[in-house]
Amino acid sequence: MRAAPPLLEVRDLSVAFAQGGVKRLAVDRVSFRLERGQALALVGESGSGKTVTAQSIVRLLPYPAASHPSGEIFYKGRDVLKMSDAELREMRGAGVTMVFQEPMTSLNPLHAIERQVGEIIALHGGRRAATRARVVELLTEVGIVDPASRLGAYPHQLSGGQRQRVMIAMALANRPDLFIADEPTTALDVTVQAQILALLKALQAKLGMALLFITHDLGVVRKIASDVAVMKEGRIVEAGKVAEVFANPRHEYTRMLLAAEPKGEAPALDKAAREIVKAENLRVWFPIRHGFLRRTVGHVKAVDGVSLVVREGQTLGVVGESGSGKTTLGLAILRLIRSQGTIVYCGRGIDGFSAKQMRPLRREMQIVFQDPYGSLSPRLSVAEIVEEGLIAQKTRINAAERREAVARALADTGLDPATMDRYPHEFSGGQRQRVAIARAMALDPKFVVLDEPTSALDMSVQAQIVDLLRELQKRRALAYLFISHDLKVVRALASEVVVMRRGEVVESGPAREIFAAPKSAYTKALFAAAFAIEADASGVVSQ
Amino acid sequence: MIAPPPAHSGGWLRLSPLNRRRLDNFRRNRRGYWSLWIFLALFAVSLGAELVANDRPLIASYKGELLFPAFVDYPEEKFGGFEAETDYRDPAVADEIAAHGWMIWPPIRFANSTTKLDPPTPFPSPPTWTLSEAQCRAALAAHAGGDAEKIPPGGGACRDLEPMWLGSDANGHDVVARLIYGFRVSVLFAFILAGVSSLVGVFAGAVQGYFGGWLDLILQRVIEIWSSLPQLYILIILSAILTPSFVVLLTILLLFSWVNLVHLVRAEFLRARNFEYVNAARALGLSDAKIIVKHVLPNAMVATLTFLPFIVNASIGTLTTLDFLGLGMPPGSPSLGELLLEGKSNLSAPWLGLSAFAVVAVMLSLLIFIGEAVRDAFDPRKTFA
């Protein structure tokens, strides 16, 4: 008897993109196979070709700009690359389904979720009358609380996690044999990520489908996959069982990835160090206005009565889910948005300062933003970006001195000063973040707000940036306010931690104590999600 | 000590890579690129209209003295006449100068409002190259006043007629000269109108978008009311009260055209003021004015530059329309719209309407092609791809 063909077999698949007459190979002779009930994770850093590989399985690439110089993809023994459009449609909605990274843009904002989920059922031959019941059943299956009342909800009324659950419900509507998840949790909070992963795992076990999971996060791989393939520059450099690969990485790159988690420990909290910034009962309330006369009927309390102290040479970590008010807190302390409550900087109360009075202080209080692509103007060269603050703050400095200062700042952040006349688009994400840090450091600040400076970066680059920040802090006795949802990074940097939720401080104290023994239920759930990727069942975290 | 690399010299001519890529994109659009050069050539020629079409010679030599009649007014006294201004086309003057020196004429011996004194046919007279030998002979005979000796014997009578390439209009003005002068006025008018209204529009949009709040709310309502006024009727009323002239028309049209860009620039500013690099600049302690000029304005300029050729086109259209309706420039001023109106009034003289139409059509098409090329060159999907 001949053995049945595997559910999915990819043989020597290459993908090339033509751009301006030049062909660039994005995926280079990749092979793998996937059986029913198996979960394979494709791991790699951004640009490694994992998403392109997944999209070519359902032929979603922008043909004819994309082409396959070599390779075959067999789905149940049939070559996907040779399928007709009708066969492809049949395979896409029913046999192979896909969930994307961004739940914000994957759902149509104009339709209620009942219609969107129902559409899939109808398209692949469901009975009209039974559709509503089936939609409710599916939504229940993916863990939407009280699904019958949520049928009429529009995507914007759902949280990110709920949207991703709806996407999963749509993908599962026709009981696919193969489920492709392309970084489905990257845009979500750690707590929600843990829930979604637990859901996917449970559903996979229940429905017996094959799962192709694409991620850059090795922790996630360990949690969800049985097999792993590590991709680098379009090639699979190592593949095997998760346990084996993680225990004995054979390829250098896998070893590098495994070692990439931020290491090192922050110095212990030193209560004697000078207080640089002290905020007391800080509040940022955004009024909610209603009616014709726009009367204020209530407030969104983005930051509600937060008190904190940042000390010289030390880092205060602010952690919490998205929407907890972390970033708003950082902006309020720098007086970039309006707030109530006292803010003391080096012994001076600055909460009443006008924009003009603040200007000289800007030199000493700096900020580094999350997105190194958005925070650097594409029109200015690196030198112009870094010297901007110098021009604004030190008026009596000539062009030659300015270039020297820029060169020093770039060298301090590990960049080659010879590249200072290049433009941001010529740099990688990590290098751009170094430029952003250099811009802040060029002014010799005393206090720096770091607003998720590592979140937009690849894992291995994150570790480098953390090392850089720690070194700069040691050398210059900087006070950091480090805002992040990534607890691993916070643990590596912060001596003191503030846990925020819905604008309020849930728990605060020395980092070592909190990480060793979190007291509140919320902190415990957050830590479980971040470090062990365990979902919390108690309901303290949002869905 | 870390030595910085030597600073570039070359000043403002050094283009950022982004702008260089845009320039390349623009060049790659052959149609737009060639349109730009053709348009620039036409514009340059029309700017020097006095050197191309003039009823005065460029240089003349009279009794050993070098004269520049195109640039200097010489009284007729100088050549033995008595008028305050010399009419060099007057045969008496021409003969006098020819006898004592020489004249170099521009290629077209008519200015915008030079009246042809000895037309080959009654006005409007057709282009001379369409005349038959018999017509030319009759014309020459009429000019000679019956003096048969002045008519050269044999064929080629038409060669002796003063050429009018596109004929004359109903007032005896040369059409080519009118087109050249009319083109110049239209383009200059449109450039000034588009330039000034963009400046005002960008400023208004920038203030609204950057500061937002009540200022934005009130200005937006003002603009809505303002732009819902019936422009054409107000123009008609105003031009009945004020004597229309270049400056008056420009001012009236400016009153309404500045709102075009406001919404666009405002939207760009609303978007850009929350960019992270704008926030970063704020955190560095830059003043609002500096942030607007250095970080926010360049974003809005892309949209503005993209729209500019189309605004220029619309301005040309408006001016031509007003002239056509008789509400525009004072009679006698060079104007394509007025020529079109004459074409309409003299349907038996198709060279009037056809040539004015051709010039307007070519001018607007060239500008549209340039505009499309500029738009594509600034398209972020193309520049960043």
pLDDT at B22 over 70: yes
- pLDDT tens digits, one per residue of A268-315: 777 788 888 899 898 988 887 777 667 777 788 888 888 999 999 899
Predicted local confidence at residue A453, as pLDDT: 87
By the 8 A CB rule, do A490 and A482 touch? yes
Yes or no, beta carbons of B4 and A393 under 8 Å apart? no
ipTM exceeding 0.85?
no
Strand order in the sheet with B65-67: B65-67, B59-62, B101-104
Angle, helix B246-257 to helix B297-324, in steps of 10 degrees: 130
Yes or no, beta carbons of A403 and B287 under 8 Å apart? no
| Helix spans in A63-189 (H) | 85-90, 103-106, 113-123, 131-141, 147-150, 160-172
Mean pLDDT, all residues of chain A = 85
Tell me which residues of chain A have a C-beta less than 8 Å from any C-beta of chain B: 19, 334, 336, 358-363, 365-367, 369-371, 374-381, 383, 388-389, 392-393, 399-400, 403-404, 406-408, 411, 417-418, 420-421, 423, 425, 436, 439, 443
**SS3 label, residue A332:** helix
Predicted local confidence at residue A499, as pLDDT: 92
Chain B residue with the nearest C-alpha to that of A360:
B285
- What are the beta bridge partners of residue B67? B60
At a CB cut-off of 8 Å and minimum separation 6, what does A254 contact? A230, A237, A238, A245
Nearest to B335 by CA among B354, B316, B361, B313: B316
Chain A residue with the nearest C-alpha to that of B288:
A355
Average pLDDT over residues A515-537: 82
Residue A53 to residues A28, A67, A73, Cα–Cα distance (Å): 10, 12, 10
d(CA A452, CA A483): 5
**SS3 label, residue B58:** coil
Chain B residue with the nearest C-alpha to that of A444:
B284
Model confidence band, residue A227 (pLDDT cutoffs 50, 70, 90): very high
Average pLDDT over residues A237-254: 89
By the 8 A CB rule, do A481 and A330 touch? yes
Average pLDDT over residues B317-343: 84
Yes or no, beta carbons of A336 and B282 under 8 Å apart? yes
**Closest approach of chain A CAs to the CA of B3, in angstroms?**
6
Chain B residue with the nearest C-alpha to that of A416:
B4
Q: Which of B277, B288, B296, B384 to mutate to test the interface with A (most CBs of A within 10 A)?
A: B277
Average pLDDT over residues A187-192: 80
User: Taking CB atoms and an 8 Å cutoff, what residues of chain A touch B217?
Assistant: none
Nearest to A222 by CA among A98, A39, A46, A49: A39
Yes or no, beta carbons of A366 and B281 under 8 Å apart? no
Question: Half-sphere exposure of A32 toward its Cβ, with a 13 Å CA cutoff?
Answer: 26
Predicted local confidence at residue B34, as pLDDT: 93
Query: Of B330 and B140, which is predicted with more confidence?
Result: B330
By the 8 A CB rule, do B297 and B355 touch? no
Query: Cα-atom radius of gyration of chain B, to the nearest Å?
Result: 28
Cα(first)–Cα(last) distance of chain A, in Å? 49
- pLDDT tens digits, one per residue of B259-277: 888 888 898 888 888 888 8
Average pLDDT over residues B150-167: 66
Amino acid identity, residue A10? Answer: V
d(CA A510, CA B131): 103
- pLDDT tens digits, one per residue of A13-55: 999 887 666 788 888 899 998 988 899 999 888 778 888 898 8
d(CA A265, CA A228): 30
Residue B22 to residues A88, A171, A190, B30, B164, Cα–Cα distance (Å): 40, 42, 42, 14, 44
What would the two tokens of residue B178 be?
């009118």
What would the two tokens of residue B207 be?
């203030």
Predicted local confidence at residue B8, as pLDDT: 60
Model confidence band, residue A1 (pLDDT cutoffs 50, 70, 90): very low
Of B17, B284, B290, the CB nearest to A362: B284
pLDDT at A540 over 70: no
Q: Is the peptide bond before A267 cis (omega within 30 degrees of 0)?
A: no
User: Taking CB atoms and an 8 Å cutoff, what residues of chain A touch B295?
Assistant: 377
